[in-house]
Structure 1
Amino acid sequence: MCGIAGIIHLDGPGDIGREITQMLQSMKHRGPDSAGYALYGEPSEMLVMRFKLADPNDSQDFDFSERLERSRREVESRLSKIGANVDRVQSESAYAYRATFRYEGELKPLADYVENIPGCEVLSLGHSLEIVKDLGDARTVSDTYKLDDFRGTHGIGHVRMATESDVDIAGAHPYWAYPFSDVAVVHNGQLTNYHQWRRRLERSGHRFQSECDSEIIAVYLAERLAAGMSLDSAMKESLDDLDGVFTYLVVTEDSLGMAKDEMAAKPLVLHEGENMVALASEESAIRAILPQEIDSYDPYEREVMVWSR
């Protein structure tokens, strides 16, 4: 089931957090277990790291608060030790945090060093990307993390029905393309050659925090972008390499892209306006933010489209 949504403002920032929330909430029936966002603010010299130190299912542990505070201090200490100039580390929920800092080194050693803290998972790392995901519907997650106040240029979101894994944050979308900056993916469907690609990417040194195939798509695309391939070319190549029935959305620092497999069985509706492009699993999600009469259409099989700011 699940539902996906995406927006890109072509002429400047908008209320991207509120808009994605409205789109996702209109598709609550497609996935009430968790909701997630990959939101892009204006690029900054600072790196932004979103991370969690526990899962909501752990909150009943008797030493929960004390353990998280120790881990939070350890994150800040490790960032400083690896050479980051920490601006601040702030609490976003009982177990999720947002850190801003300056850092000139490679992202993989930093993320590996931080994630070596028990219970720590880096959800996103980049100069404009911020991934927020948690249990509950989109309105619940948005209210917890105050996402209605988030202004940005583009983003994607996902509502999840847990059919093949636990109801936890690790199984929630979107997924950051670890360890590549500012790349994230959501998708609806299933990759049938998931294990083949996971082994291949792991042999290249990549790690995966979940068993979700969306994470495979994110790293697959980001690896090709890092090698100099355009987003459009990388996505077209993915349709030859990735088997299954799927529709996915990918976001980079300045672009939003969509791709459908050769069967085009997973729904996606698209509206291209003069200043904004909106996509979602259902037209009702687009109408949640554009109540006026709009033109929309369903992309064809093996179609790849990219919009850039």
Structure 2
Amino acid sequence: MCGIAGIIYKDGEHPIGTEMTRMLQSMKHRGPDSTGYALYGQPSNLVIMRYKLADANTPRDFEYEDRLRRHRAEVERRLHALGAKVHELEEETEYAFRVTLAYDGDLKKLADFVEDVPDAEVLSLGHSLEIVKDLGDAEQVASEYELATFTGTHAIGHVRMATESDVDISGAHPYWAYPFSDVAVVHNGQLTNYFQWKRRLERSGHRFQSECDSEIIAVYLAEKMSEGATLEDAMRDSLEELDGVFTYICVTKDALGVAKDEMAAKPLVLYEADDLVALASEEIAIRAVIDREIDTYDPYEGEVMVWQR
């Protein structure tokens, strides 16, 4: 079933970590297996990388802690080898890390070099995007990663009910659009031409960490934008080229957009005011962050809507 949510403020920074947690926790019934966030702070000259070396399902054998230490040290060594200057390295959990670094090289080269370390997976790279995802509900994940302290401009989130893949971090949403900076997607639905697009994008040099069709959408849109399309144009193209039943939300460093396929079978409710736009699979999620009487509506079939900061 799954649930998706998004919020974007027209101006200023806001406690989007707390607000997205409220939105997602209100939809816990739609997906209790994992919860994910794509959070956007003010753009920085530094690159922000979030990566993991294991997850909650990884067997805690007698080599587990030593393996984590060795692999973490190897990631740091590789960052230095590429000329990246690490400003801060935070241990978010025993297996998930946040690194800020000065680096002006190729993000693909950086991600590939890090992911060549056993068990390493880069969850996001960018100058404002930070993807946090883990097993459990929104309150559990937010508490573990201290998201109540995160202030920013816009965010998307996802609660997942695993139906076709394992319950792990790699299968959780959102997805970063490897190797493009600051693009992420959450999605409710299913692509029927998933494998066709995966093969096509792999031939263009892209890699995928999961079997999830949402990851395809993220890379598809980012590649279109890298070729000069606007976010809105790329999303409109997706309605013609991606088959299936779906509603998805895409975010970039300064925009949030939503698309619904021509059947519009997957729900989405929208609220728009002068200062913000909030949207989610259910109205209860929007009301979790807006403490006044509001009017919402459901976008039409085949609809694409984009809001810029």
- TM-score, structure 2 as length reference: 0.99
Deviation string 1:247-288 (CA, Å, 9 cap, x unpaired) is: 000000000000000000000000001101000000000000
Deviation string 1:158-199 (CA, Å, 9 cap, x unpaired) is: 000011111110100000000000000000000000000000
The aligned counterpart of 1:229 is 229
Secondary structure of the structure 2 residue equivalent to 1:142: helix
The aligned counterpart of 1:93 is 93
Retained in 2: the 8 A contact 1:76–1:89?
A: no
Deviation string 1:115-145 (CA, Å, 9 cap, x unpaired) is: 0000000000000000000000000000000
The aligned counterpart of 2:54 is 54
Matches within 5 A, 1:221-260: 221-260=221-260
The aligned counterpart of 1:11 is 11
The aligned counterpart of 1:150 is 150
CA–CA distance in 2 between the matches of 1:227 and 1:58? 39
Query: How far has the Cα of 1:61 moved from its partner?
Result: 2.0
Matches within 5 A, 1:75-90: 75-90=75-90
The aligned counterpart of 1:22 is 22
The aligned counterpart of 2:293 is 293
1:106 is the counterpart of 2:109: no
What amino acid sits opposite 1:229 in the alignment?
A
The aligned counterpart of 2:171 is 171
Secondary structure of the structure 1 residue equivalent to 2:20: helix
What amino acid sits opposite 2:300 in the alignment?
Y
Secondary structure of the structure 1 residue equivalent to 2:205: coil
The aligned counterpart of 2:73 is 73
Q: Bigger shift: 59-68 or 143-152? A: 59-68
The aligned counterpart of 1:280 is 280
CA–CA distance in 1 between the matches of 2:102 and 2:188? 35
Secondary structure of the structure 2 residue equivalent to 1:89: strand
Query: How far has the Cα of 1:59 moved from its partner?
Result: 4.6
Matches within 5 A, 1:254-269: 254-269=254-269
What amino acid sits opposite 1:284 in the alignment?
I
Q: Bigger shift: 79-88 or 172-181? A: 79-88
Secondary structure of the structure 1 residue equivalent to 2:170: helix
Percentage of pairs with the same residue: 70
Q: Any runs of at least 4 consecutive aligned residues in structure 1 with deviations exceeding 2 A, and if so which?
A: none
Secondary structure of the structure 1 residue equivalent to 2:302: coil
Secondary structure of the structure 2 residue equivalent to 1:70: helix
Secondary structure of the structure 2 residue equivalent to 1:170: coil
1:212 is the counterpart of 2:212: yes
Superposition CA RMSD, Å: 0.6
Deviation string 1:38-60 (CA, Å, 9 cap, x unpaired) is: 00000000000000011211152
CA–CA distance in 1 between the matches of 2:209 and 2:61? 22
Count of aligned pairs between the two proteins: 309
Structure 2: 5+ residue runs without aligned partners? none
- TM-score, structure 1 as length reference: 0.99
Query: How far has the Cα of 1:65 moved from its partner?
Result: 1.4
Query: How far has the Cα of 1:67 moved from its partner?
Result: 1.0
Query: How far has the Cα of 1:291 moved from its partner?
Result: 2.5
The aligned counterpart of 1:303 is 303
CA–CA distance in 2 between the matches of 1:104 and 1:94? 29
Structure 1: 5+ residue runs without aligned partners? none
1:135 is the counterpart of 2:135: yes
CA–CA distance in 2 between the matches of 1:84 and 1:40? 22
Secondary structure of the structure 2 residue equivalent to 1:87: strand
What amino acid sits opposite 1:242 in the alignment?
L
The aligned counterpart of 1:116 is 116
The aligned counterpart of 1:193 is 193
Deviation string 1:22-52 (CA, Å, 9 cap, x unpaired) is: 0000000000000000000000000000000
Deviation string 1:227-251 (CA, Å, 9 cap, x unpaired) is: 1110000000000000000000000
